Structure 1
Amino acid sequence: MLGHEAGATTDVTAALEAAQEAVRRRGDDRERSLVDVVPRRVADVNGNGAGALMNHIAQHPRDVLAVSAAVPTIAFSGVTDVQQGAWDLVEGLAPAYGDHWWYISLPAFTRQDQGRFEEAGWLAESALTCEPSSGHAVHAQTHVSAETGQHESGRAWLDHWVTESGRAAIHRAHFSWHAALHELALGDTEAVRQRSYTQLGPGAVTGVLALVDSASPLWRWRVTTSAWPAGAADGAAPPASSVLGTIEPELLAEPRTPFVAVHAALALAADGDATRLAALERRMRSARGAMRTVVAPLGTAPGASLEDRWVEAADTLEEIVPALPEVGGSAAQREVVEETLLLALAHAGWADRARAVLDSRLERRPSPLDLRRRDSLRTHDQRVPA
C-alpha cells in the first residue's frame, strides 16, 4: 500500500504475494481483510478499492493504517475527493478512539479545513503534547499557521520541528512545501530558492509528491512574484524542467484524479510546455466529472497566460475558482489557482476586481504578499483590449 500510494521504494507485486501467502498460513480476521483490500486499492483506488477499504474499516475501525489510507492525507488519496465525505468519515470514528492522540490529530486537520482554526490548533497541540512526532498533528498546525497569517512564527516552528521531533518524518518534503509558502508570503524568495534546490529538488522528491510539493511552488512563485506587474526585481523561479524529469510521464499525461490533474497542469505551465498542456486539456475534456468541468478549463487558463492572453485566462479562472473544492486537496493547495486568477486580472487591467479578491483574503488573515500586491495595483480599472 505504501509503495503504490505513498511512493515508498518497494516491489509492490512481490510484497502483495508475500502478504497473501503469510495470511493464508497465520493471518487473523483483520489481517486477512486488509490483505484482501490492498490489491483492490492497487487495481482501482477510487472505485472497488475505496468500497473495500470502507467495508474493512467498518469491521476494524481501529486499524490505523487502513484509516490513514481512507482519509485524504499527505501520503494517501483517501476514499473521497469530497470534503464533507472526508469530514464525516473522521467524525464517525470517534467512538473507536476516544481522545487518543493519533485520532485527535485527524479532526484537528478537518477542523482547519472547515475554518475552525482555534479548535484545530487546540486539538493539534493536545496531540503533540502526547506525541511530539505526530505528523498529522503537525500538518494540521501548519495549515492553521498559514490560514491565520502566522508566517514568521509558522516558518520558524515548522523548521524547528522538522530538525527535531520530525527528523524521521517520511513526508518532510511536504512540510518544506509549507515552509516555502510562508517564505513566499514574506517575500523571502532567496529562502524559497534555497529550499527548492535543497529540500524540494530532484534528489529529495520524486513521483506524485514532486508534482504536488516541488513543481507547484515554482508556478506559485511565478504568478505571485516574478510575473506580477513590477515584480521582475524578485528574480525568476528555478527552472521546472529538472523537477519534471523525476515525474513519471503518465502522471502528467494521464492523471488519475482531479487533484493530480490540477497539479499536472500547473507543473506543465511552470515548465512553459504549452504543447503538453494543450494535450492534457484535450484529454480532460473527454473525461467525466471534475476532470471535465474544472480541470479542463484550468488547463486552458495557464496556457493562455503563457501566451499573454490575460483576459481569456481571467474569464476562465473566475468561473472555475468557486468549484475548486471538487478537485480535493486542501485550501492551501488549491489557493495556487486563485493566485493565477489574481495575476490574470492584474495583467488584464482589471485592478478593481483583483483588489476585491485581495481584500476578501486580507479580511480572513494578514498577508504581507497580498498587501504588497494590493499596493502595486493601479488605482482604477483600465481594461486591456482583448
Structure 2
Amino acid sequence: MIKNDICGCPVTLTSSVALEAWNGVIHGLLSHGRETPVHLGRAMDEEPDFAMGHAARGLFCLMTGRAEVIAPAHAALAAARTAAQNTPVTMRETGWINALARWLEGSPTGAIACVEEVLSALPHDTLSAKLSHGIRFMLGDSAGMRRSIERVLPAHNNSHPCVGYLMGCHAFTLEETGDYEQAERIGRRGLMFAPDDAWGLHAVAHVCDMTARAADGIALIEGNTAAWEGSNNFRYHVWWHKALLHIERGEFDVALGLYDAQIRADKTDDYRDISNATSLLMRLELEGMDIGPRWEELADFSENRVEDGCLVFADLHYLLALTGADRGPARDAMTARFARDCAKSTDMAARVDAPGTAALAGLNAFSEGKYDTAFLNLAAARPLMPTIGGSYAQRDVFERMTIDAGLRAGYYDATKAILHDRLKQRGGHIDRFAATRFERLNTARDIAAE
C-alpha cells in the first residue's frame, strides 16, 4: 500500500502509525531534532520491510562522517535491497537505495546524482532536497547547493508544510554564495513558517558573521532560542556561532566561557562537535589567549580518529587538537594515512590529495613554529579548501592561520593579497580580524623599511 507523507510524496507504508513516525523522521531531519532516530526506530518496528527506512538509516549513518558507521550502512543497504525485492517500491525509494549504494562505493557525488533524479520527478520532496543539500555541504559544493534548492523552490508554495525549512536551506546557500542581503531576508522569513528551524536561524547568523555585525547576530540567537534549544547537537554549533560573534567584539573571556558551559558541555567525539571546539580554541590562541589544558580532552578523542579518513574537513580539525596537545606520534600517523589515501580512487581521496596533503603539512608546520613552511603549504592549499566541506565561517580558522603564518614569516605582499581576497569574499565588510591583521601588516612593513 502507498501513502503520502507530509512532503506529499509516496512511501510504501501500510499503517497510519508507521506513517506518523515517518513524518516525525522528516520533521526531525529538517529541524535537526533530537528525536529523529527514535521516530525512525518506531517506523521500522511497525514495518520492518520499509525499504526507504533502511536506506535512510544507512544514509544518516554516513552523514555522521565516522568510520565505524560504514558497516551498519552496508547492513542497511542489504536490508533495503531485500525489502525492495519483497515489496514493490516507488522510484523515490529506489533513488534513496541507489544513493546509499553509490556513497558506499566511494562516490558521494554519485549519491547526489541519484537524489537529484528523485527531485526531478518530485520537486516538492523537501526530505530529498535536504539530503542533497546535506551531502553537497559535506563536499563544499555551495554553488550546487544553491542550484539544487532553487530548482525545487517553485514546488514549495506557502501552503507546503515544509516550506519554512526549504527557505532555511535557501538562505544558507545564498549566504555561502555571497548574496548576504537576500540570505538574511529569506532566512528571517523562513523562521516565520518554521520557528524551530535551527538551520535557517544559523544561516542568518552566518550572514551576521560575514558582514561583521556581531551585535545583530547575538541578538538574533538570543531572541530565537525556540529555533535551536531543542535541537540535537546542532545546538552546540549555534553556541559556537555566538562565541564567534563575541570574539568579533573582542570579548574573548565570554567566548571561552561559552566553550566550557555550552559548546563542550557534553564531551562527545562527533566530528562536528570536535570541529566547533578546535576551531574556537585556535581562534582564541591566535588572539593571544591562554586556553590552558583544553586541547588534551579533544586530542584524546582525535587520536582515535586518525585512521577514519571519512572527511578531510574532520581530519584537519582532529589535527588541530593533536597539534594543540603536541601528540607527535598521532600527527605522524595521520600524515602517513593521508599519503596512503591519496592512492585511492574515491571522491574523498581526491580531496585528501588536494588540498588535504598541503593543508596537513601547513598545519603541522604552524604548530612547530615553522611559519615559512606553514604559509607556503597553507597558501597552496587555499584555492581548493572549499572542497573539504563545511562553510566559509568554519574554514575561516584555516584562513586566519594562513594569514598569521604569512605575517610571521614575512610574506607581506602575499599576505596582503589574501587579506584582500578574504575581504572580497565578505562583500567588503571588514571584521575585527581583518582590521587587526592589516594593522599588523602595516606595522611590520614600517619596521622592515626602517
Q: TM-score, normalised by structure 2?
A: 0.71
Contact 1:297/1:316 (<8 A) preserved = yes
Greater displacement, 141-150 / 43-52: 43-52
CA offsets, 1:306-347, max 9 Å, x none? 221111111222222222222232111121111011221222
Contact 2:237/2:273 (<8 A) preserved = no
Letter in 2 for 1:245: D
Work out the CA distance in 2 between the residues paired with 1:164 and 1:134. Answer: 9
1:82-101 matched pairs, under 5 angstroms: 82-98=141-157, 100-101=163-164
Change (3 A) 1:216 1:133: same
Q: Equivalent of 2:298, from 227, 243, 253?
A: 243
- Partner residue of 1:60? 122
CA offsets, 1:263-314, max 9 Å, x none? 3333333333343233323332441423112110111112112221111111
Q: Equivalent of 1:255, from 305, 309, 312?
A: 309
- Partner residue of 2:324? 270
- Partner residue of 1:301? 362
Greater displacement, 260-269 / 336-345: 260-269
1:85-164 matched pairs, under 5 angstroms: 85-98=144-157, 100-161=163-224, 163-164=225-226
Change (3 A) 1:34 1:367: same
- 1:382 deviates by 6.6
- 1:140 deviates by 1.4
- 1:38 deviates by 7.0
Structure 2 gaps, min length 5 = 1-56, 343-348
- 1:160 deviates by 3.3
CA offsets, 1:30-63, max 9 Å, x none? 6743663575377346165444333333333333
Structure with higher Rg: it is 2
The reply on whether 1:316 has 2:377 as its aligned counterpart is yes
Change (3 A) 1:381 1:259: farther
Percent pairwise identity: 21
Work out the CA distance in 2 between the residues paired with 1:210 and 1:116. Answer: 27
Greater displacement, 54-63 / 171-180: 54-63
Work out the CA distance in 2 between the residues paired with 1:6 and 1:316. Answer: 29
- Partner residue of 2:436? 372
Change (3 A) 1:206 1:257: closer
Letter in 1 for 2:297: S
Change (3 A) 1:317 1:246: closer
CA offsets, 1:82-133, max 9 Å, x none? 3332222122212322453222222211111111111111111111122222
Q: Equivalent of 1:292, from 339, 347, 353?
A: 353
- 1:158 deviates by 1.3
Q: What SS does structure 1 have at the residue aligned with 2:445?
A: coil
- Partner residue of 1:179? 242
Greater displacement, 353-362 / 338-347: 353-362
Letter in 2 for 1:367: D
Change (3 A) 1:370 1:32: closer
Contact 2:138/2:389 (<8 A) preserved = no
- Partner residue of 2:260? 197
Work out the CA distance in 2 between the residues paired with 1:146 and 1:79. Answer: 20
Greater displacement, 334-343 / 126-135: 126-135
Contact 1:212/1:263 (<8 A) preserved = yes
Letter in 2 for 1:66: S
Change (3 A) 1:139 1:168: same
- Partner residue of 2:5? none
Work out the CA distance in 1 between the residues paired with 2:358 and 2:298. Answer: 24
- Partner residue of 1:216? 279
CA offsets, 1:230-276, max 9 Å, x none? xxxx33365222124345823x3332233333333333333333432
Change (3 A) 1:158 1:253: same
- 1:69 deviates by 1.6
1:223-242 matched pairs, under 5 angstroms: 224-226=286-288, 234-236=289-291, 239-242=294-297
The reply on whether 1:71 has 2:125 as its aligned counterpart is no
Greater displacement, 265-274 / 307-316: 265-274
Work out the CA distance in 1 between the residues paired with 2:329 and 2:423. Answer: 36
The reply on whether 1:40 has 2:101 as its aligned counterpart is yes
Contact 1:108/1:124 (<8 A) preserved = yes
Change (3 A) 1:187 1:237: farther
Letter in 1 for 2:177: Q
Contact 1:132/1:165 (<8 A) preserved = yes
Change (3 A) 1:253 1:186: farther
- 1:199 deviates by 1.6
